[in-house]
């Protein structure tokens, strides 16, 4: 059974960089054919797709965040990470990592529990 767990600071100051890591257990990130994604949910709102990564490093980002977001992978640690720069209060959200069931045409079949990141001074 694949499990995903987000980790990182719960409080980030405005203009700084939000950094989160998703640790995958119960399966290898580098075994393929799975893609891995980040999604966020503003308080009391719907879901926003951030982007995805493949273990080879292939990525795609939401154009609305593209200038500020980086998703990377560390296969040796079975982790992938999210960095979002120049954050503002509008980036306060619960951030989820998730696995695509195979290719990116697939849905997300496994999700982390989510981690709340608050942007505040």
Partner 1 sequence: EIVLTQSPDFQSVTPKEKVTITCRASQSIGSNLHWYQQKPDQSPKLLIKFASQSFSGVPSRFSGSGSGTDFTLTINSLEAEDAATYYCHQSSSLPQTFGGGTKVEIK
Binding site for partner 1 (CB under 8 A): 39, 46-49, 60-64, 96, 98, 101, 104-109, 111-114
Nearer to partner 1, 14 or 47 (CB): 47
Is the peptide bond between 2 and the residue preceding it cis, with omega within 30 degrees of 0?
A: no
Residue matched to tokens 């009391």: 44
Nearer to partner 1, 8 or 16 (CB): 8
Contact 84, 18 (CB under 8 A): yes
In the complex, what is the shortest distance from the CB of residue 110 to partner 1, in angstroms, rounded to a whole number? 8
Structure tokens at 57: 């490093």
Measured over all CA atoms, what is the biggest interatomic distance in the chain, rounded to whole angstroms? 41
Nearer to partner 1, 62 or 75 (CB): 62
CA geometry: angle at 61 spanning 20 and 114, to 5°? 35
In the complex, what is the shortest distance from the CB of residue 62 to partner 1, in angstroms, rounded to a whole number? 4
In the complex, what is the shortest distance from the CB of residue 66 to partner 1, in angstroms, rounded to a whole number? 9
In the complex, what is the shortest distance from the CB of residue 98 to partner 1, in angstroms, rounded to a whole number? 8
Which H or E run includes 61? strand 59-61
Nearer to partner 1, 10 or 63 (CB): 63
């Amino acid at each position: 059974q694949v499990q995903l767990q987000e980790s990182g600071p719960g409080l980030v100051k405005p203009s700084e960089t939000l950094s989160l890591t998703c640790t995958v257990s119960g399966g290898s990130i580098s075994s393929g054919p799975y893609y891995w994604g980040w999604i966020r949910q503003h308080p009391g709102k719907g879901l926003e797709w951030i982007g995805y990564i493949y273990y080879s490093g292939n990525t795609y980002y939401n154009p609305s965040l593209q200038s500020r977001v980086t998703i990377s992978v560390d296969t040796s640690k079975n982790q992938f990470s999210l960095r979002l720069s120049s954050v503002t209060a509008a980036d306060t959200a619960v951030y989820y990592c998730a696995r695509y069931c195979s290719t990116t045409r697939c849905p997300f079949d496994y999700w982390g529990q989510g981690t709340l990141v608050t942007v505040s001074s």
